[in-house]
Chain A
Amino acid sequence: MFGKLRRLRQDVSRIALEESDRLPSSERRRFLRNGLFTAGGAMVGGVFAGLSTRVGAAETQYPPEVPAWTRSLGAGVVTDPYGMPSPFEKEVIRRNVPWLTAEKTSSVSFSPLQHLRGIITPNGLFFERHHAGRPEVDPQQHRLMIHGLVERPIILSMEDLQRFPSVSQINFIECPANGGMDWRGPQLNSLQFLHGMVSCAEWTGVRLSTLMQEVGIKPEGKWVLAEGADGAAMTRSIPLEKVMDDVIVAYAQNGEALRPEQGYPVRLVVPGWEGNTHVKWLRRLEVGDKPWMQREETSKYTDLLADGTARGFTWVMDAKSVITSPCPEMPLRGKGIYQIEGLAWSGRGKVKAVDVSTDGGRNWQQAGLQEPVMSKSLTRFALEWNWDGSSALIQSRVIDETGYVQPTLGQLKEVRGTNSIYHKNAIQTWKINPDGSVDNVQLG
């Protein structure tokens, strides 16, 4: 057996030498040198391993030590042909609540808002909500059918779709159940799990109004049914007024093709409306004269009130804000000056102002808004705060361009009770403890 291996090794060396014989002399020298370098890899590694030990003995890489990465050669280009975050960021991931649903195929994952530093959610961290798992759709085979009360029913390939004039717009998408676990009291002690069903991206695609103009809506057409190609064949009825306003059929997200979790190769983006209307893996658009009263707009995504009646077609996401730092995942480290930072958004337009309170809503100060402030997009806010090290109750309150002021949970419960699950956009209270830890609390 060993003899066989030795023979194989000799064969490889012989083939290598023969190959190098065919090269010009300079190339031949390089070929052999590279081969030797590879063969001596273990030895070279050993040298570096020795250095690492010496650096490790010093235990730090900061001044006056010169860091190991300054005294060595880094990785070459295309080491990762599709770039990934630093391995030191491996805990910045979407997370789920295992006890929430029966299956991961009909569940949700939450975006790590505590680690996000801008208004754009990186594509790999965009929250997920699947009703029958994430399908692997072949874009060559995928088709978008548009039919119903139209003059010219058509079937578009993805290439066809991308020939239409495109637009790009930055919009948030929020699941109406975001924060819904806290109607009856604080459950989850985490920004990510409590508010992480909102994300924001630059979407590129074709205006749905362009496609509607292409097929020609008959006068009696008043609604559009959007349907996904997933195992849930997810559907929602959308009134024509919204369809012709700002809805896009999107094929790109932050400059690259949609991620499979976000509906690759094509999804609907319905700016400002609840996440489930943004049908993913879009395969069909039907124009009709009435809504279809699908399961996801009757049995689900309707808001049960205290008197036992329910509201349907509550599409718009009302204005909401939340402090992302500090938060349960981002505690304070000793008294001193901090930037209270957070995100605000409204499904009805732009954020006009955000106020911050550090005394449970007795007094408020207007925070600064970070540009750009865009309609139906996440907006950043910040307020400087000198923490004296004592207990504090911090809150944020958004006012949108319609003048709507984000409500307290008490005000929401007064109108809706505690069983509506969806559309809980109440002011969030974080309690700062003297040790700097942060808890999700509700006020009496």
Chain B
Amino acid sequence: MFSLAKPSKFLASACYSVLLGGMPLLATAESSGHYGYGETASEAQIAGWDIDIRPDGKGLPEGSGTVDEGMKVYETYCSSCHGTFGEGMGRYPKLAGGDGSLADDRPEKTVGSYWPYASTLWDYIHRTMPFFAPQSLTDDQVYALTAYVLNLNYIVEGEFVANKDTLPKVKMPNHDGFTWDDPRPDTRNERCMKNCKDDVTVSDSAAGKNLTPSTTGPLDEGLTE
């Protein structure tokens, strides 16, 4: 029996000579970290899928669009859900307005009042809109819509032309409204076990508010609100 803790000199030297001989018999894919599966992604393949845009403008394509052009595209593809002036419709999001409302009791978070980066607008319109036909707009149409929505929010003038040079320079009103270092845990509850508080009162109950869909039977399709 040989000890696992102390490999014999013979075994150690045998391994050594194998490695020296340039025959990495003991090496596995796991230790070298390379399996070689799949195919190398070509530049053309990457270009077809790489659609993300960063705040510094990285990723923005050639092309451009004006506020006026954007208005026409907006009326065709966007106003039926987002309203003629970006005021929203039902549960479809409002795109404009709400300036200075973020500390209000009922804040309105829109592109103008809340979004910190203009690049996000181009990126999001391009990747997801129109909602029923995502990635169907041309780059020029996306530039035009971006210009139009920024103009709806009084962030750019009517003469603004959106392109890969102008868009990264647009500073959004709420750019400095965010902190990006998570300060949590931000509460310090104590694990009290006995006589933790004097009186307990119920301040509000969901009973009788008639907001809860049915929790039995088939799916509740109705609007209970």
The complex places the Cα of A278 from the Cα of B12 at a distance, in Å, of 46
Instruction: For the complex, count residues of A whose C-beta is within 8 A of B.
Output: 104
Interface of A is mostly: loop
Bound together, the chains give a CA A99 to CA B223 distance in angstroms of 6
Contact B187 A415 (CB under 8 A): yes
Set B33, B38, B119, B203: member contacting A442, Cβ < 8 A: B203
Instruction: Assess whether A17 is interfacial by the CB under 8 Å rule.
Output: no
CB distance B103 to A283 under 8 Å? no
Residues in chain B near residue A43, CB distance under 8 A: none
Given the interface contacts A102-B91, A147-B50, A214-B34, does A186 sit within 8 Å of B206 by beta carbon?
yes
Q: Check A295 against B41 for contact (C-beta < 8 Å).
A: no
Q: Which of B52, B115, B212 contacts A189 (CB 8 A)?
A: B212
Q: Bound state CA distance, A146 and B50, in angstroms? A: 10
Please tell me if the beta carbons of A304 and B107 are within 8 angstroms of each other in the complex.
yes
Residues of the B chain whose Cβ atoms lie less than 8 Å from the Cβ of A316:
182, 184
Tell me, yes or no, whether A405 is within 8 Å of chain B by CB.
Answer: yes
**Is B177 within 8 A of A309, CB to CB?**
yes
Interface status of A166 (Cβ within 8 A of chain B): no
| A295 in complex: contacting residue of B120, B204, B223, CB < 8 Å | B120
Could you tell me the dominant secondary structure of chain B's interface residues? Answer: loop
Known: A156-B37, A440-B205. Contact between A311 and B211, CB under 8 A? no
Considering the complex, give the chain B residue whose CB is closest to the CB of A315: B182
Question: Which residue of chain B has the shortest Cβ distance to A313 in the bound complex?
Answer: B180
Our pick among A233, A355, A399 for the contact of B51 (Cβ within 8 Å) is A233
> Across the interface, which residues of A come within 8 angstroms of B209, CB to CB?
186-187, 189
Which of A19-27, A78-86, A254-262, A285-293 is the interface stretch? A285-293
CB neighbours of B191 from chain A (8 A): 355, 397, 399, 405
A270 neighbours in B (Cβ, 8 Å) = none
From A102, A165, A442, name the one whose CB has the most chain B CB atoms within 10 angstroms: A102
B contact residues around A312 at 8 Å (CB)? 178-180
Contact assessment for B55 and A152 in the assembled complex, using a CB-CB cutoff below 8 Å:
no
What is the number of contacts between chain A and chain B, taking CB atoms within 8 Å? 259
Q: How long is the Cα–Cα vector from A163 to B197 in the complex, in angstroms?
A: 58
B196 contact set on A, CB distance < 8 A: 361-364
Could you say which residues of chain A place their CB within 8 Å of the CB of B116?
A: 293, 298
A294 at the interface (CB under 8 A from B): yes
- Least Cβ distance of B32 to chain A in Å? 9
A306 an interface residue at 8 Å Cβ cutoff? yes
A91 CB to closest chain B CB (Å) equals 5
Q: A416, B186: Cβ atoms under 8 Å?
A: yes
A425 to B, closest residue via Cβ: B187
Chain A residues with CB under 8 Å of chain B are 91, 93, 95-103, 105-106, 114, 131-132, 145-147, 152-157, 160-161, 163-165, 185-190, 192-193, 213-214, 225, 227, 231-233, 235, 283-284, 286, 288, 290, 292-295, 298-299, 302, 304, 306-316, 318, 328-329, 355, 359-366, 393, 397, 399, 402, 404-408, 411-412, 415-416, 419, 423, 431, 439-444
Q: A132-B131, A411-B189, A442-B202 are in contact. List 9 more A-B contacts (CB 8 A).
A: A154-B37, A161-B37, A187-B209, A213-B33, A286-B50, A298-B178, A310-B114, A328-B215, A431-B205
Q: Can you show 30 pairs from A to B with CB atoms below 8 A apart?
A: A93-B219, A95-B213, A95-B220, A98-B221, A153-B46, A154-B40, A164-B35, A186-B205, A213-B33, A213-B34, A214-B35, A232-B127, A232-B128, A288-B54, A294-B120, A298-B117, A299-B120, A304-B109, A308-B102, A308-B177, A310-B114, A312-B179, A312-B180, A316-B184, A364-B194, A397-B189, A406-B189, A415-B186, A439-B205, A443-B202
